[in-house]
Amino acid sequence: MIDQVLIAGFGGQGILSTGQLLAYAGTMEGKHVAWIPAYGPEMRGGTANCGVTVSDTEISSPLVTEPNALMVMNQPSLAKFENAVLAGGIIITNSSLVELPPKRSDLGYLPVPANAIAEELGNVRIAANVALGAFLGYSGAVSIEAAVAALEKVLPVRRHKLIPVNKVALERRVALGLTFRERAAAG
């Protein structure tokens, strides 16, 4: 099993830390992982993305140029990266900010109202982890337990008070991803 996901959005949306979370969770499960961040010169409001590979076998290149999954948190990121996804892959969007669906018909498409759910949980900064929960449910790349345990590694100690709400955010969407995977498998 090799999962390659590209996670993209604006700086300040938690894109890089969500990628780190996935990578740490993979290492906690004894998998091979690679995490490559990329961001514009702006700290907040600029573009940010990262490629994460989680594999049961050694990884030949850490670069994610043809992901089988794309998780986007804004419309510009969908426009920029949609064509990179391999046919048969999946695009997960933050439907709170991504109004237009992907143009391609050879992909699975899972809209997740990540900002709306994060606001409902009391902290819009966890929206990327809401979307990550859907990806984990769909892909099974790592277990939800490993992702929750990895929160302690990714979040600085001063942010550990956010672990419970991040746990809920991840768990909220895992079921959605599982349901989507089951429907896709059924045809």
Total of domains in the chain: 1
What's the token pair of residue 165? Answer: 């709400």
- Contact at 8 Å (CB) between 70 and 84? yes
Average pLDDT, the chain: 92
Q: In which band, very low, low, confident or very high, does the pLDDT at 46 lie, cut at 50, 70 and 90?
A: confident
Q: What is the pLDDT of residues 82-112, one digit of tens each?
A: 999 999 999 999 999 999 999 999 999 999 9
- Contact at 8 Å (CB) between 139 and 185? no
CATH of the domain at 64: 3.40.920.10
Q: In which band, very low, low, confident or very high, does the pLDDT at 179 lie, cut at 50, 70 and 90?
A: confident
Give pLDDT, residue 145.
95
Task: Tell me which residue range forms the domain holding 97.
Answer: 2-186
- The amino acid that residue 119 corresponds to is E
Q: In which band, very low, low, confident or very high, does the pLDDT at 40 lie, cut at 50, 70 and 90?
A: low
**137 contacts: CB under 8 Å, gap ≥ 6:** 144, 173, 174, 175, 176, 177, 178, 179, 180, 181
Q: How far apart are CA 180 and CA 119, in angstroms?
A: 23
Residue 67 Cα distances to 70, 84, 118, 150, angstroms: 7, 7, 26, 23
% of the chain exceeding 90 in pLDDT:
81
What's this model's pTM, rounded to 2 decimal places? Answer: 0.93
Asked whether residue 180 carries a pLDDT value surpassing 60, the answer given is yes
Q: Average of pLDDT values for 21-45?
A: 87
Asked whether residue 42 carries a pLDDT value surpassing 90, the answer given is no
- Contact at 8 Å (CB) between 81 and 6? yes
Q: Do β-strands 47-55 and 2-10 pair in parallel, antiparallel, or remain unpaired?
A: antiparallel
